[in-house]
Amino acid sequence: MWQPVLMINGFIVFILGALMLVPAAALKYYTGSFDAYFIQSGFFAMFVGGSLFLANYGRIKNISVLQGYLITVCCWFTAPLFCALPFLGNGDINTFSDALFEATSGLTTTGSTILSNIEGQPKSVLLWRALLHGVSGVGIVIFAVALMPFLGIGGTHIFNKENSDTEEKFLPKMRYIAKDIILTYILLNIICMFLLKWAGMNWFDAVCHALATLSTGGLSTKNNSIAYFNSATIETIIGAFMLLGSLPMTYFILIAKRRNFASVFGNQQVNAFLKFIFGFVLIISIFYAVTANIPFLTAFRRASFNMISAISTTGFSSYDFIQWGPWAVTVFLILFMAGGCTGSTSGSIKIFRWQVVLAFFKKSAITALSPNQVTAMKTGGKVIDDKIVSSVFVMVIGFVLAIILFTLIITMTGVDFTTSLGAVTGNIANAGLGLTEATGPSGNFAGFTPFVKYLLVVVMLLGRLEVVAVFVLLHKIKNS
């Protein structure tokens, strides 16, 4: 039962430990001295991870559904504990609750932070936050599947827990899918990095922001996020790549392998997503320009970047949307709950699931008016299987119930309702921003108590695992 769980988790911890040496080397390059926090934490993680891996090593011929859930959930709850170690005592992070919060935010590509003076942190800390985004953008378990050929058929169960994109199964083996996704992801990151350097960023900022953009993570190296650069070119580049990160990674592979743009542009989920965001941006830009009495192009620039950041659950900001007025809170709450496409690096509920919900409501309305009429539930011209409908409703209901539960608990600690709701929604959607001054684009999460920070860590992990995986695992363990 536990051999593959411990072996694969050990492997992932070992890789993360080795990755900790990169920020240490970066600080050596910039300052001439190594970062002892990262070196010590890196060797400790490699020792623990390597020991777990070697002690449980063996060819895995098959992995059960329960083991698949155990591997994924244990990985996501274990990895932040090790990734938090180099943060502790480094820069302005002095408590374990802060270190764990920052590490979980990076790994889940949420983008929340407890740092108020980001630019005052060591470059090793800033690079580590970006690397956590980069390595987990497409799922750290997918990296394990791609790098571990001895998984064999067992890799299928693990991949399916990480990637909810079930619309296209065009490659024969999950390991090959994982490898192609990773290569595509890396290539897009490299392109984004060079474009940001061309637009005026230095190499360090370009690398960190590229990793935070494609992963839809949002942790910047600047206190004012993207507003620091005050560059329409940089905002355009990051906005475009946030949109790319919100699209299914498999469709970029389709373009490369089939050279068939029609198979991409004809996808109803992608089309619905792009129509929704562009239509919403246009309407809000006009409304914002009128209510704020500013030029339309200014309103469009501010609205488009920040709204793309919100729906892609990236969390970058070029302007504090809280200052737009009370209506902005509602708009961004809708965007947080929408999310990008399934199979993308974005978080939240995602457009395909909302399409399924709307299709169900449409069928229910038709049935109510014509009880004897046989109506197939469709989205994008495709009939939706009842199992998909059930899984979608379970996920959406679980998502909403989790928001209600954790908002209630946090308000019981003395935090006001709006701040609690914004903090929970922003973190479970992996959007990284709240809906008040305290946790919005100009704020951070440092003011919360350690207990609330630990709760928000759980919220971020639930959002990254799309809630259901954790409940399914608990149910299976209870009944096994």
Per-residue tokens: 62: 């098959």
| Closest residue by Cα to residue 343 from 173, 164, 145 | 164
The whole-model pTM stands at 0.90
Report the alpha-carbon distance of residue 475 to residue 159 in Å, rounded: 21
The secondary structure of residue 448, as a DSSP letter, is S
Q: For residues 250 and 277, is the Cβ–Cβ distance under 8 A? A: no
Averaged over 452-480, what is the pLDDT?
81
Report the pLDDT averaged over residues 222-232.
94
pLDDT tens digit sequence for 11-33: 889 999 999 999 999 998 888 88
Average pLDDT over residues 430-450: 91
**pLDDT score of 300:** 95
Residue 333 has pLDDT above 60, yes or no: yes
**What is the Cα–Cα distance from 166 to 335, expressed in whole angstroms?**
23
Amino acid 3: pLDDT: 79
The token pair at 30 is 């910039």
Please answer whether residues 11 and 144 qualify as being in contact, where contact means their C-beta atoms are separated by less than 8 angstroms.
yes
Beta carbons within 10 angstroms of residue 129's beta carbon: 30
Model confidence over 191-211: pLDDT tens digits? 999 999 999 999 999 999 999
SS3 readout for 40-98: HHHHHHHHHHHHHHHHCCCCCCCCCHHHHHHHHHHHHHHHHHHHCCCCCCCCCCCCHHH
> Is the pLDDT higher at 304 or at 180?
304
Mean of pLDDT over the chain: 85
Strands (E), 143-191: none
378-379 and 382-383 beta bridge pairing: antiparallel
pLDDT average, residue stretch 353-358: 88
Rounded Cα distance, 446 and 114, in Å: 4
